[in-house]
Structure 1
């Protein structure tokens, strides 16, 4: 498996990697995700988990390495659940029905064996 941000590094010749401090258009942040042909930046002003796609060469200054801020586990799980609701929620009559489906122990995100 290729290292994260490999395409961006190879194609654009930039030192992009997860945890690299960047300044994008004057806004400080850190690369938090590999976006394929872009870098996913968590800006300092935003809550952890809020990542924006940015072009790897448009007004980007690459700096040193830092840890990527993470949401506390409880908030992270809630945010992941909400993302699943956005993906699958149209198939349910209400949020409670979705929660019952989502909490099924056989679901892969609940460590179920039927991923």
Structure 2
């Protein structure tokens, strides 16, 4: 197992072209990557949800499936973002979203 990891991650280990010491990473760069998952389980959850959605609604479009998944995963932050907007901006964004949805 160690040999496989060494072979696959050679560029990221000591001496590799993408290797960076922790001391060299700035605080802003570190904060930029806080949202990133440490494992691939986050991606696996998305594929599992998409598979489940496609089985429940086999004739629905991919636009429908991705919209459902995005709302399922992001509805709370999205609603917070919308509620903090000025009413004029919120209204124009919602109109634009409805128009864009029809075009899709």
Greater relative contact order, per chain length (Cα 8 Å cut-off, separation 6+): 1
Using the size of structure 1 for normalisation, the TM-score is: 0.26
TM-score of the superposed pair, with normalisation by structure 2: 0.27
Structure with max Cα Rg? 2
Task: Determine which structure has the larger helix proportion and give its number.
Answer: 2
